């Protein structure tokens, strides 16, 4: 049976008990309001599905294999109501209506006669919203973590900002535990974008399960109408763009390190495209969104614009990406595919070789191996020490891969799996 201790796990956000041969009633989960993702498939559980959003919004695949389950969830049989159950249902319908009427009167009274109390009530609702929307790091309470981030950033004061981007600003936050995190405050949504907030939240939730050495560790997020931010592991060396543009760090970023960075990004993209289900397209791969740790190992970040490729949908989307990295087909179609990331990766390769955004070089396709070798020699970043003959051959091969990725026709571009294999050969 399910241990009764589960009732006390109020901060639990993900619950996976599938294929455990558990039995008994699942009413034990009724109080776990912090849950956002559940999977209890293929057990011997019974009873009505808990009135918790994670359960009510769960797919039938997460609940199937439990013959005794019932409830208002697609794919499950409805629960049979006893006479008392009918009374409870009547109460369940009438009480919210009565409560809504009372609440309306109270709101009017508060608005016209008690503005200060109304403000206090708003603050209390905001605190509740924070608890519901913020995923805690480890076992830290969501409200405490929120308060700590607000305090450390002085309520996201510009003086505490370490970098700025089109979709949000990043802050370095040292927690009381000693952990250092990067907090990206997402810029407010425009009025016509509010409807996409739920989609954004769902996509971010999917990123919680990503485990890859070349993808920045994602801890959690706060998503509310007032402000939204994401919490990531802090990486000490900052962005690839910052390191390439600084003369001192660019010298330290020798050709071995640069080749390793390209390999790391390729492996991460291959993982997102081919090992995640559904596949994930980053949509905003740039040198600003590649972060480096103390060993100059690459970690892809900036997943705020990531798109899950649903095989049952058209995968059309609003425009996203950074000028100079966006695939050309997105000028006339909004259909997102993995090949959009492949194009951006081609730009990134040239940027690592040149030491800056390649600009018009993207349109320069050498017609022979000799021209390719001469081009590498002409555009090579002069800040690090010159590459050895062996590394120079590697860079020529890398340039060839870059131009394959930059093909105008997305169908002519290689997959990231194929690119990873080419880089490993």
Catalytic residue among 254, 284, 312, 341: 284
Cα distance between residue 344 and residue 266, in whole Å = 11
- 62-67, long-range: CB < 8 A, 24+ apart: 62/18, 62/38, 65/41, 66/40, 66/41, 66/42
Q: Name every residue whose Cβ is closer than 8 Å to that of residue 304 and which is 6 or more positions away in sequence.
A: 167, 168, 184, 186, 200, 204, 230, 284
181 in helix, strand or coil?
strand
Distance CA(304)–CA(167), nearest Å, equals 8
Sign of CA dihedral 69, 74, 80, 81: positive
Q: Quote the CA–CA distance of 330 and 340 in Å, as a whole number.
A: 8
The tokens 């990486």 sit on which residue? Answer: 235
**In whole angstroms, what is the distance from residue 382 CA to residue 154 CA?**
41
Task: Please state, in angstroms and rounded to a whole number, the distance separating the CA atoms of residues 362 and 325.
Answer: 10
In this structure, the number of other CB atoms found within 10 A of the CB of residue 253 comes to: 23
Calculate the CA 84 to chain-centre distance: 45
Instruction: Please say if 39 is a catalytic residue.
Output: no
| Sequence-separated (6 or more) residues with CB below 8 Å from residue 321 | 283, 284, 305, 330, 340, 344
d(CA 249, CA 244): 7
403 Cβ neighbours under 8 A, 6+ residues apart: 346, 365, 366
Largest CA distance in the chain: 86
Q: What gap in Å lies between CA 343 and CA 320, rounded to an integer?
A: 14
Tell me which residues are annotated as active site.
284
């Amino acid at each position: 049976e399910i241990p009764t201790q589960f009732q006390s796990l109020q901060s639990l956000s993900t619950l996976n008990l599938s294929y455990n041969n558990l039995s008994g009633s699942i009413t034990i989960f009724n109080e776990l309001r912090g849950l956002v993702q559940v999977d209890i498939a293929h057990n011997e559980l019974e009873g009505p599905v808990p009135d918790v959003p994670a359960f009510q919004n769960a797919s039938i695949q997460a609940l199937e294999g439990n013959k005794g389950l019932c409830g208002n969830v697609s794919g499950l049989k409805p629960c049979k109501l006893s006479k008392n159950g009918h009374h409870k249902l009547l109460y369940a319908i009438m009480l919210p209506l009565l409560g809504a009427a009372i609440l309306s009167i109270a709101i009017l009274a508060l608005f016209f006669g008690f503005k200060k109390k109304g403000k206090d009530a708003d603050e209390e609702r905001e605190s509740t919203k924070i608890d519901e929307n913020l995923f805690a790091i480890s076992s830290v309470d969501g409200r405490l973590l929120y308060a700590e981030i607000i305090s450390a950033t002085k309520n996201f004061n510009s003086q505490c900002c370490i970098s700025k981007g089109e979709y949000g600003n990043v802050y370095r936050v040292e927690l009381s535990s000693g952990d250092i995190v990067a907090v990206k405050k997402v810029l407010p949504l425009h009025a016509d974008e509010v409807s996409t907030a739920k989609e954004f939240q769902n996509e971010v939730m999917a990123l919680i399960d990503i485990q890859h050495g070349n993808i920045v560790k994602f801890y959690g997020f706060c998503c509310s109408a007032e402000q939204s931010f994401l919490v990531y592991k802090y990486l000490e060396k900052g962005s690839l763009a910052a390191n390439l543009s600084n003369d001192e760090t660019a010298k330290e970023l020798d050709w071995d390190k640069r080749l390793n960075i390209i390999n790391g990004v390729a492996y991460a993209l291959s993982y997102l495209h081919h090992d995640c289900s559904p596949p994930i397209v980053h949509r905003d791969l740039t040198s600003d969104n590649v972060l480096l740790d103390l060993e100059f190992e690459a970690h892809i970040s900036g997943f705020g614009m990531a798109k899950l490729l649903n095989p049952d949908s058209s995968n059309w989307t609003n425009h996203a990406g950074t000028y100079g990295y966006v695939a050309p087909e997105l000028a006339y179609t909004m259909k997102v595919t993995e090949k959009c990331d492949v194009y951006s990766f081609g730009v990134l390769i040239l940027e690592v070789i040149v030491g800056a955004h390649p600009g018009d070089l993207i349109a320069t396709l050498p017609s022979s191996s000799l021209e390719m070798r001469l081009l590498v020699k002409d555009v090579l970043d002069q800040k690090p020490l010159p590459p050895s003959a062996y590394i120079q051959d590697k860079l020529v091969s890398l340039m060839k891969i870059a131009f394959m990725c930059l093909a105008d026709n997305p169908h002519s571009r290689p997959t990231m799996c194929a690119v990873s294999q080419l880089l490993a050969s």
